[in-house]
Copies of this chain bind each other. A is one copy, B any other.
Amino acid sequence: MKDIKHFLRQKSLRPTKQRVIIANYLFDGVNKHVTAETLSNELLKMKAGISLATIYNTLHDFYEKGLLKKLMINSERIYFDTNTEHHHHFYSKKDQKLIDINVDMKVSGLPKPPKNKKINKIEVLVHLDN
């Protein structure tokens, strides 16, 4: 991500100091799964004094512009994924860690959806033991 300011402007997001810092971290080329808390910790490490409220606001702003995906992994917190392509995950409960599955998978034997409902997308979560 070369010109973050330009990138944010393209998405109708004002490139404020805080958003630039967060976008630089999130979109550095390595896909990430973050929660408000883990992101806050990373930002603290890099001595960026960004308030929690702004972190929440920014994650949601980015989500609304399609820059992040929301994951429904567990009920304790909201995970955001910088990989917005359709993909699946390994999940280690023990490590509280997600790993992208970037290969194509096929699900067979799917029953018809209920009346008047259409399938939007299929998400596979592969739970790991250890």
A interface residues, Cβ below 8 angstroms from B: 70, 72-79, 90, 92, 99, 101, 103-111, 113-114, 116-130
Most buried by B among A75, A76, A119, A125: A75
A75 surroundings in chain B (CB, below 8 A) = 70, 72-79
> With A105-B108, A106-B107 in contact, is A127–B117 under 8 Å at CB?
no
* For the complex of A and B, 3 pairs with smallest distance between CB atoms: A105-B109, A118-B129, A120-B127
A125 to chain B: closest residue by CB: B123
CA distance A76 to B78 in the complex (A): 9
Residues of B within 8 A of A124 (CB): 107, 122-125
